[in-house]
Amino acid sequence: MLFTPFTFQNGKTAKNRIFKSAMEEQLAQNDQPSEKLVRLYGTWAKGGAGVLVTGNVMVAESGKGSINDVVISDSRSLE
């Protein structure tokens, strides 16, 4: 059952039932996603999980829980 697809109520389907939950990666650089963070998520994606949930990504500087959390409050980090 772990490797069978799962369809959510919104119609989106995950290729399996492996779910990486949110974690606090602490890999921001000047509040922005670092190359290490991008590489980490790339590695997880290649690992085959059906769902990858991002860690602490704040939408305002005041929401940071830790010094190296990512803050995306404008479009400069979306690439």
Per-residue pLDDT, 61: 86
Give the tens place of pLDDT for each residue, 51-69: 999 888 898 888 888 889 9
DSSP annotation of 41 reads H
Tokens of 69: 């959390």
pLDDT of the residue at 27: 95
| Residue of 17, 60, 57, 19 lying closest to 37 (CA atoms) | 57
Domains of the chain, residue spans? 6-77
Residue 77: name the closest of 54, 51, 56, 59 by CA. 59
Per DSSP, 9 falls in state T
Is the per-residue pLDDT at 78 higher than 80? no
Distance of CA 75 to the CA centre of its chain: 17
Quick: pLDDT tens for 1-43. Answer: 999 999 999 999 999 999 999 988 999 999 999 999 999 999 9
pLDDT score, position 37: 94
